[in-house]
Amino acid sequence: MLYNYDQFLNESLNRDNEVLNSILDTMLKIPTEDIMEFKKDIEILSDMSENMNEGLSDTIRNIQRKFRRWFTDKLFHYLINRKKDFYGKLLDKLNIFDLKNVEDVAKAFPEFKFGSMYLAGGMDAAKEGGKVGWRNEVENYLEEKSDYDTGLPKVELYMNGGQKIKEISPSLIVDGELLTYFVEHPKKALKFYGKPAILNPVRKEVDRNKMDFDIFFSALKNANAPQKDIEEAINFFKRTFNDSIVWGDEVIINNTDCIFLGVDKTAGAGTFAELELISFLEKPLFTWLVDNILYDFKLWNYPQLTKLARTKREMQQMLDSLYDYYIL
């Protein structure tokens, strides 16, 4: 089949994107240490001649030996026959797994200061309306690193699956009236806190465990509910979410330096709506796959992704690196 130049170019670009996505999908299943070794090998390929038949046999054999159990023969064939610009794109993408180095973050976002962070992710289906779980893990870990004295009233942290309630004097957690104040006066509110101030939307939400929510959820789930009850439930959620929740969340997202996304089985439409908003703001997106959840997670669905942690320890390493680089 004969191709004109535009057809050839488009097919090449599509093939490169397909291979890139396949490699990244494979990377999700590979330990971080091995990914960093793979990155070093790709750096060698990118520095060599574009003639893939000259001087590359040792490097290619090395990659095949280490990654045979993850990469197919077809994927290897595509990988070793790419051009230098492909390797450049691949190296940029592999940086999301490098949690010990955040210089790529500083390069991509030169104005980024890590002064505040919004905790995005599922809440409606989360235990205790989202009060228990990964958000508390992030809050607690950063609070223990900071010795900033706000002099503000203590806040509660639900630890160990909600079995233990811990009260702390906050250095970073924005809570209570100051969270409402942040929505109205973000810059003034941040002056009370150390860095990064943590904006946890759960702390401003309407309590989803109250009776009103249960009643109206039941009405929507009940196929035999009267039309009047269904309309009343719909109006309730419109008022509650649009007026009390969504608007406030959007204000917070717009006025924080970065987004920390926790991906677990509770992440739903609201989470992806937040991500769509984030994609227009050009802010760093740091993501933790809580409990190493990989199902339905595809890297190419998160083009703005900056760093990715797949375990609790990797989450801590990511926060350590950001804290050391920007705060200390």
CATH number at residue 304: 3.40.50
- Last residue within a domain, chosen from 46, 75, 98: 98
Do residue 93 and residue 119 come from a single domain?
no
| Residues present in the chain in total | 328
What is the spatial distance between Cα 214 and Cα 95, in angstroms, rounded to a whole number? 44
Do residue 126 and residue 83 come from a single domain?
no
Residue 217: C-alpha distances to residues 27, 212, 227, 237, 285 (Å) = 40, 8, 14, 9, 32
Q: What percent of the chain stands above pLDDT 90?
A: 30
Do residue 184 and residue 289 come from a single domain?
yes
Do residue 125 and residue 235 come from a single domain?
yes
What is the spatial distance between Cα 197 and Cα 187, in angstroms, rounded to a whole number? 11
User: Comparing 299 with 37, which gets the higher pLDDT?
Assistant: 37
- Last residue within a domain, chosen from 98, 120, 135: 98
Do residue 148 and residue 15 come from a single domain?
no
| Residue 131 predicted with pLDDT over 90 | no
Do residue 156 and residue 93 come from a single domain?
no
Do residue 271 and residue 142 come from a single domain?
yes
| Residue 148 predicted with pLDDT over 80 | yes
Q: Which residue has the tokens 């104005």?
A: 111
User: Comparing 23 with 248, which gets the higher pLDDT?
Assistant: 23
Mean pLDDT over 1-25 rounds to 61
Do residue 111 and residue 89 come from a single domain?
no
- Which residues have CB under 8 Å from 94's CB, separation 6+? 27, 35, 38, 39, 42
| Residue 284 predicted with pLDDT over 80 | yes
Q: What percent of the chain stands above pLDDT 70?
A: 72
pTM above 0.85, yes or no: no
Domain boundaries, position 288: 107-326
Task: Give the number of domains in the chain.
Answer: 2
Do residue 18 and residue 142 come from a single domain?
no
- Last residue within a domain, chosen from 98, 116, 144: 98
Mean pLDDT of the chain: 79
Mean pLDDT over 68-91 rounds to 81
Do residue 66 and residue 134 come from a single domain?
no
Mean pLDDT over 54-79 rounds to 77
Do residue 33 and residue 130 come from a single domain?
no
Do residue 231 and residue 121 come from a single domain?
yes
